Structure 1
Amino acid sequence: MSEPKLPTVNKNVSKDGRLDIQNPHLTDMDEDVLYHIALSNKTHDLKDMFGDVKFVCFGGSPNRMRAFAEYLVPELKIKIPAGQTLCNIAHGSDRYVLYKVGPVISVSHGMGIPSLSIIFHEIVKLVHHAGCRDVVFFRLGTSGGLGLEPGSVVITDEAVDGLLRPYMDLVILGKVVQHSSQLDPGLQQELLSLANLQKDNYQTLVGKTMCTLDFYEGQARLDGAFCDYTQKDKMAFLNQAYNHGIRNIEMESLCFAAYCHRAGIRGAVICVTLLDRLKGDQITTPHSVMEQWQTRPQKLVVAYIKQKLGIQ
């Protein structure tokens, strides 16, 4: 297979920071229905609802993203009117949840590349229709670590696939199209600097992330329903990945990075590790501890948002 042709110039962001979608077919449509979040540019005033959005935070679990939205309220000093509460704006659909807290969207993306791809398309169109400017995207999640103490936080500098390639293959009209999975290095360093300032009692580092299409065999686990390789085979592959600079494994970063790069959006992937895959396959940490660990990427992103908004 030939090497991918990687774009070097963003053509989708205008000089004033607005995201201009390069899909000519959208302009010919009377209505653009964002089906999976139950919104439309005809039935909803998207500019009024979302025009002030500066940050979009994606995470797999609906409950986690609601909890993140609730965490944002006091952190951003948002006042919710008496008698009201946070609302899942996508309540007309049962696929995803979407909350808005001031200039921040908190949205779930489900598990795996296909689920994330769907919501990413619709959030990009939402940002476009709303006329948002200079929006930054984040994926906040969990992962399996490689050679790291569980609870460590990895800021992805490059997402790779199961073949350790830094781009995503997408089959379109019967042909394989390759998209670079480069992420914004400046944003990574800003996040790492904030992590260093917080002096947490856990490690935060920048490293490569392997994104797979499967939780079991695709991640070299021995405990799935099927397994046609040995412990020795598993360890050889995981050590190869570690020597390649990979520090964690999950199932969405490749698509997230490729789509951010394709759209010209500054994006970052920040995941906490729930175990060291060089030492085992199954997660045995108590649920209460994991819940605490899962807030670590959130706290880092909130620190970034507060800094950009000038909130002490």
Structure 2
Amino acid sequence: MTTENSSGEHLVYISNPHISKMEEDVLYHFNLGTKTHDLPAIFGDVKFICVGGSPSRMKAFIRFIAEELGLAKPDMDYPNLCEGTDRFAMYKIGPVLAVSHGMGVPSIGIMLHELFKLLYHAKCSDVTIFRIGTSGGIGLEPGSVVLTKQAVDSCFKPEFEQFVLGKRVVRSTDLCADLIEELLSCAKGMNEFNTVVGNTMCTLDFYEGQGRLDGAFCSYTEKDKFEYLQAAHDAGVRNIEMESTIFAAMCRASGIPAAVVCVTLLNRLKGDQITSPHDVLVEYQQRPQKLVACFIKKRLGKA
């Protein structure tokens, strides 16, 4: 669902009638608020948002995109706009905002609620959002980048399930097809690494939830694991991570075009543990950043 202003720009939509009745909206986990901060002045020009698990990775991204857009200056500092809280980190340069979301569905869900309210209060329009990160591949060589077609749960269903006041609520996890095509076009133009479109499985756990054999507990056999991962591959799943279903569902509900761009660090059909050298992993982690930067530069006419 989307709303438009008088100029035909698409605004961020939030479905909560109680917000307009509040004297003040405190974005607690960001350490921001409608009375303590001029949100339209600080964030009103935001057009592109990148979210990822790690605060340090988000700061690295904002430094990188500043260079790519020609906005960086010698000795330039990039302050954490959420200073005062240790939950999330937020950085901004020009029209680009980078926010960390921690690990797993609960953490990113809290962050997205407050992020969408921030965008709403700041009167942001025509926003595009990306989740960039790492994942385990299924049938792909390490270093491959997956553009998520559908985020699916552990049963390969394209839905996000949540219980609200004790009642089961299910939301769609389809992502923006046009945005995926634009990103794929950028990847083909770059021609630097393997990029594929596939489904992404979102789990609630890194170990048993993803069929690993190396956790503290394991109640299944190696044969069980491979049968499950093969079934996932047959269902179109090409990578596994821990945030995509709620990300896709909430972005869809807010009318924000969204994409999940994750690099694979290993092929889960060949093992459970990440064994690539540190410098190789660092280069892999930069691949989603490079692809999203290419997209942003094209949108801004700076490619």
Q: TM-score range by the shorter chain?
A: over 0.9
Residue among 98, 101, 112 paired with 1:106: 98
Could you list the structure 1 runs, at least 4 aligned residues long, displaced by more than 4 angstroms after superposition. Answer: 11-15
Is 1:12–1:21's contact at 8 Å kept on the other side of the alignment? Answer: no
Query: Offset at 1:12?
Result: 4.9
Residue among 263, 270, 290 paired with 1:279: 270
Residue among 38, 44, 54 paired with 2:37: 44
User: 2: distance between equivalents of 1:84 and 1:149?
Assistant: 37
Query: Offset at 1:79?
Result: 4.3
Matched, 1:307 2:281: no
Per the alignment, residue 59 of structure 1 pairs with 52
What's the secondary structure of 1:235's corresponding residue? helix
Identical aligned residues as a percent: 54
Decide whether aligned partners of structure 1 residues 29 and 190 sit closer, same or farther in structure 2, where only a CA change above 3 A counts: same
Query: Offset at 1:22?
Result: 2.2
Is 2:138–2:267's contact at 8 Å kept on the other side of the alignment? Answer: yes
Residue among 159, 163, 167 paired with 2:159: 167
User: 1: distance between equivalents of 2:130 and 2:4?
Assistant: 18
In structure 1, the gaps of 5 or more residues are 1-9
1:1-312 matches, within 5 Å, as 10-12=1-3, 15-80=8-73, 85-200=77-192, 202-312=193-303
Say what the alpha-carbon RMSD is for the aligned residues: 1.2
> Under a length normalisation based on structure 2, what TM-score does the superposition of the two structures give?
0.97
User: 1: distance between equivalents of 2:4 and 2:27?
Assistant: 21
Query: Offset at 1:13?
Result: 5.5
Instruction: Render the CA deviation track for 1:136-170: whole Å, top value 9, x for unaligned.
Output: 01000000000001000000000000111100001
What's the secondary structure of 1:306's corresponding residue? helix
Decide whether aligned partners of structure 1 residues 228 and 13 sit closer, same or farther in structure 2, where only a CA change above 3 A counts: farther
User: 2: distance between equivalents of 1:13 and 1:253?
Assistant: 27
Q: Count matched residues.
A: 301
Is 1:12–1:263's contact at 8 Å kept on the other side of the alignment? Answer: no
Is 1:217–1:224's contact at 8 Å kept on the other side of the alignment? Answer: yes
User: 2: distance between equivalents of 1:136 and 1:292?
Assistant: 25
Query: Offset at 1:16?
Result: 2.4
> Under a length normalisation based on structure 1, what TM-score does the superposition of the two structures give?
0.94
Per the alignment, residue 4 of structure 1 pairs with none
Instruction: Render the CA deviation track for 1:95-126: whole Å, top value 9, x for unaligned.
Output: 01000011000110000000000111111011
